Structure 1
């Protein structure tokens, strides 16, 4: 049987006419001509209404005659005033509510609500005054009978959408050191998460802080402990329990001498970890996290525990290169001077690299005096110690600790390949970016300016041609 609904007669509220729903017009109070005969039979006021219309038309005709008469005789005084009544309207023709959330309220302007009817009480219920209660997910229409300013009744429709939002996770473990944030998603949400109807708060911001973004609610681990994050969506309250634990690899980027081993461990971590090497020929790893350096190069060691993945970058270098890096790093803070470049406590760029390597038998063509940067570059070329003839990115994992980076000027300076500066690559580090992501960076030690300093690896200076050679003066096989 097809569903039917009641239509309130606009002239007598105590009379109601039943029609099948598919015969409704776009406006309920506009009935198709083919249905008028049915109304005449069931609504006793219809005939009165027709007679009233005739009288109104007669009154309008008389009024028009009067106006014409006044205009013809040039009357300067108005003898009547016309005030057009505004039609009733809904403040909102669409409402969004949540199952288990707050009720809604239908409101009108230019009129008074006299009755409301839900066309699907399984989805929403409504009182005669327009208070809407969400029952289950879906969409339903509410028929609103409104008494206008002209004392005529109008039927209006309000569309109500009921959502049933849920969280992507209700129990989250945050790593306060490795994983600075976690994006919590809201399932079943219609519209933007930045809507004023969606709010979130942490029970303890010192442990977990929260921030709404376009793609989700971000949870940030601030310190160890537990806290509850409450998300309210159209009055429905959802809760996510968050535990913050500071567990991390004790090393995220390490340098190993060929043939040596090191075991990487977690702090505050009792889970089972599955380890894997990106290149077993360079560095292997066993089930306990013990890494063994086999050949020169770079490898990435990953540990997996459930959904979590942890990374450690391993660089395998020669003993001479590792010792040279330590000596160069120990010189950080010493003064820069070309005139005193061979004196204790003073360096220029080329004396720093030579004095860091020469104690370990790598003299780059001169046993008693530091060659210039250009001469060191030339020696690397002539002795097959070049690994690149241009700059390489950190992400390529080509560089090893102890590599020499040679920079050249754009203009001719009369030296080999116009080289004017050399720096020593000291290794990789994992650092956090402003948005909490991990980023692999490379670092140098060089004498440039006033002191010996450690700085981030760069492929060029602002005033030069850039890197023209990368040398590996120590053993390469």
Structure 2
């Protein structure tokens, strides 16, 4: 007769995972011939699942108990399924401090922050990020065994204000109208960009009336603000918030500069904000053919 004495225990009895991401209950000290006899059960399977190997998933914020039956005893783990939140803005001014402190984490695991290139920004242990030099770097936030990385941009004051204004206008949900484009609470694509930049000294050649998208591009060309299209077209990693993307007419000719009929503002992390026939909204930059790209403030 072969007798094996075991001392099964959980590697960690307080576990956490972000929604729709997997975690795992790990057992150690159990008998080697009893691996296949470990049984995992949850106290409630509503929006929660635990597999035969101890892997678990959560589909709603909750706290669950997982019971592990091994070598004749029952072990218990507490699992939190979380949805951590952090500041969404990715733009900073030089010298500005912004908090990216995470809320909604489990408290079972440390929340960590890391800047890709400390030449451009620094971050403290609690997520306080400071812009140090104009440019772009990455910020990686880790919480409950899941990491998220995104670009943060340190912008010149005028660009920062223009992008912030565009995002503020978006929140007010102005109505789209070409006829009423210059009135309060109304925009079309070009008046939206003009209203975002105009308060900060960038009026694209008119202080009183927003030019068309094509005329804004033409002004950028005369002022040597256009970027080399082959270098920037389709490459979000080369763009900076505040850059303008001009789109060609979908079909036919309109007789305007470069056949342009639409304009959008790039706001970082593969996203534009624009008024495209409804209200102002966020979108993917490369959804149409691009005619020109400009950096109005260099």
TM-score class, shorter-chain normalisation, is 0.7 to 0.9
Distance 1:198 1:185 in 2: 11
The answer to whether the 8 A contact 1:249-1:264 is kept is: no
Q: Which residue of 1 aligns with 2:161?
A: 323
Change (3 A) 1:391 1:227: farther
Change (3 A) 1:300 1:345: same
Which residues of structure 2 form unaligned runs of 5+?
A: none
Q: Which residue of 2 aligns with 1:351?
A: 191
Q: Per residue, is there more strand in 1 or in 2?
A: 1
2:283 to 447, 453, 456: 456
Q: Which residue of 2 aligns with 1:93?
A: none
- Provide TM-score, normalisation by structure 1: 0.49
The answer to whether the 8 A contact 1:221-1:244 is kept is: no
- Provide TM-score, normalisation by structure 2: 0.73
- Measure how far apart 1:363 and its partner are: 0.9
| Equivalent runs, 1:45-56 vs 2, <5 Å | none
- Measure how far apart 1:454 and its partner are: 0.8
Change (3 A) 1:200 1:411: farther
Which residues of structure 1 form unaligned runs of 5+?
A: 1-120, 123-134, 137-165, 429-441
Q: Which residue of 1 aligns with 2:101?
A: 265
Q: Which residue of 2 aligns with 1:418?
A: 259
Distance 1:228 1:335 in 2: 51
Q: Deviations over 1:370-424 (max 9, x none)?
A: 1211121222233333445253355x3x333322221113644322222110012
SS in 2 for 1:181: coil
Find the structure with the greater CA-based Rg.
1
1:376 aligns with 2:183: no
1:391 to 211, 230, 233: 233
Distance 2:51 2:125 in 1: 40
The answer to whether the 8 A contact 1:171-1:240 is kept is: yes
Aligned length: 282
The structure, 1 or 2, with the larger RCO (C-alpha pairs under 8 Å, 6+ apart) is 2
Change (3 A) 1:420 1:204: same
Q: Deviations over 1:270-325 (max 9, x none)?
A: 86666432122322224553322123332212356896645464222233333333
1:404 to 223, 228, 244: 244
SS in 2 for 1:406: strand
Distance 1:448 1:242 in 2: 48
RMSD: 4.1
SS in 2 for 1:446: strand
- Measure how far apart 1:355 and its partner are: 1.8
Q: Which residue of 1 aligns with 2:15?
A: 173
SS in 2 for 1:210: strand
Distance 1:186 1:272 in 2: 19
